[in-house]
Amino acid sequence: MKGQWYDRLIEWREQYISEKQLILLLSFFVGALSAFAAYILKSFIHLIQYFIEHYLIAGGHHLWYLVCPMIGITLASLFVYYVVKDDISHGITKILYAISQRKSIIKAHNMWTSIVGSGLTIGFGGSVGAEAPIVLTGAAIGSNLAKLFRLDQKTMMLLIGCGAAGAIGGIFQAPIAGLVFTLEVLMMDLTMASVAPLLISSVTATTISYMFHGTEPMFVLQTIEPFAMSRIPWYITLGIVCGFASLYFTRGMNFLEQWFKDNIRSIGLKILVGGVILGVLVFLFPPLYGEGYDVIEGLINGQSQSAMSYCPFAAFSDSGWVLIGYFVAIILLKIVASVATNGGGGVGGIFAPSLFMGALVGFVTGRILNMIGVAVPESNFALIGMAGLMSGVMHAPLTGIFLVGELTGGYHLFLPLMIVSVSSFLIIKLFEQHSLYAMRLAKKGELLTHNKDHSILTLLKMDNVLETDLKVVPPDMTLGELVKCIAASNRNIFPVVDGKGVLKGIVSLDEVRNIMFQPRLYNRFIVKDLMNSPRALIYDDMPMEKVMEIFEDTGAWNLPVVNRQKKYLGFVSKSKIFESYRHVLVHFSEE
């Protein structure tokens, strides 16, 4: 009965609502649902934090800083292991992978599991952000709504972008940043067909967020100095510092994550090691607790001393160099705290850590410049440093510029925001070609980019181009039997495969043409004597871009495909790849 009603609904939609109208309607609902998801996640986090801060830590029991992060990691880890039974970390990377490799399909449980996992992690003090989990949630909402209405892969990809834009708009109240994040980080092309749905989702989510939280920006600026032309060299300096800090953030995160993965296998040990490291760090450096947004607000409003509340070194906070040393230590240890959180089993992203670390880098740079006699506004530097680090870590300067502008209302600082963001981006591009989100997929050749050729080759799969209609011959087949196979085949290549399915070589029609019409030789020669080695082997797990490189290097037109055990699977030809390439190009270029 349910299936019948569902089929009738789809038929009614197809009859009365065009696909373009449906996409606009769905983009509205995706934006609205993403905003509600963001509200639920923020409320869940704040509820846990309120309990801890007002009933535990407020009573002077600061040792709870040691215990709470481990509680959060443990609860999140158990939830993922026993309830979700799937990996829900690295939310943005999962979206990029779904777009590139899974036909834009994101599992339905991602519409809610990231909310629970990251809420437990961050609420109890995990040193990560809620933004990547909510972006994965929004993208999952878009993907599954598209799947519900049986829309094609291209439309599903667009609705994933709508979910991401809505999530950013909803959690940050930043509609423009939601749009540019989707274009820069998720690498979706901006066309007339895509811009309207993305804007609808982002604006809808932001409007609903305004209804819940008011229209004030997330970080209210109390004092800010106007832009001065004379400070441009120092803003460029800040951009360079942010670029190198982004490089430290990126490589440090990768190294520590790999260390956790390679050296700690047991779930219980991961929880213990991650929880102990995070608890000790949070106890010694309380600003590492949670997202750190209260610290950011203090720095951009000239209240740097507030960051040393509950700190064991608070008695020395009057010394300028002690404060700088304290903040530098936090900058260096922030990635350790974040990796300990996620490596220990927590769920969270790097949005908040990059903003937090950027504010500290900006403040420290400004404070040092002031101490050596260069007068610069430390609050401005803290604010702009957030954009600089985000631009470098995410390889997304426009996202950094517009997000920080919308988060703070600091639109009059657009020029220094642009200077620092672009400087930071250019520095890190010298060392890292891809962002922290994308490099994991780029190493496997699974990343879509704005480069059309690369993206289309990434979308092509071996199954799409594999040809299996060639006649397989054994090594001990006689020439006479081979001639019969040639007569019955419409191909001029014959793979030679042994009894175990292993490819031994190939026989080409051109190689035997001069002897195939001499019956006296039919029993003298066997295939093993006539076969040649292929110019190269194509492995079934190779990315298509690598396959094309092999074709170009060898000059071949047809090459055999095998698995890693050298078992024959079929052939792939240049003509088949070009045909599939044209098909995908036409499909994804349509407006």
| Domain CATH code at residue 52 | 1.10.3080.10
Residue 411: both structure tokens together: 């639109």
Residues 96 and 125 in one domain: yes
pLDDT score at 61: 54
In a domain, 448, yes or no: no
Residue among 77, 155, 85 at smallest CA distance from 117: 77
E strands, 169-320, where?
A: none
CA dist 2 → 16, 17, 301 (Å): 21, 22, 57
pLDDT for residue 445 is more than 60: no
Could you tell me which residues come within 8 angstroms of residue 455 by beta carbon, excluding any fewer than 6 positions away? 448, 449, 588
| The domain boundary residue, chosen from 405, 420, 443 | 443
Taking each helix axis from N to C end, the angle separating 153-172 and 19-55, rounded to the nearest 10 degrees, works out to 40
Residues 202 and 309 in one domain: no
Query: pTM (2 decimals)?
Result: 0.78
| The domain boundary residue, chosen from 178, 213, 248 | 213
Range of the domain at 485: 454-589
Distance CA 582, CA 587 (A): 9
| The domain boundary residue, chosen from 408, 443, 478 | 443
Residues 238 and 148 in one domain: no
Mean pLDDT on 505-514 = 82
pLDDT digits (tens, 9 = 90+) for 569-589: 988 888 777 776 666 555 555
pLDDT digits (tens, 9 = 90+) for 281-302: 988 888 898 888 988 988 888 8
> Angle at the Cα of 393 (from 387 to 397), degrees rounded to 5?
45
Residues 305 and 180 in one domain: no
Distance CA 547, CA 55 (A): 61
For the chain, the maximum distance between any two Cα atoms, rounded to a whole number of angstroms, is 102
Count of CB atoms situated within 10 Å of the CB of 526: 17
Q: What residues form DSSP beta bridges with 496?
A: 473, 505
Tell me if 186 sits within 8 A of 99, measured CB to CB. Answer: yes
pLDDT, averaged across the chain: 85
The domain total for the chain is 3
In a domain, 103, yes or no: yes
pLDDT digits (tens, 9 = 90+) for 226-258: 888 889 999 999 999 999 999 999 999 989 988
Residues 195 and 334 in one domain: no
pLDDT score at 591: 44
CA dist 98 → 90, 352, 583 (Å): 12, 23, 21
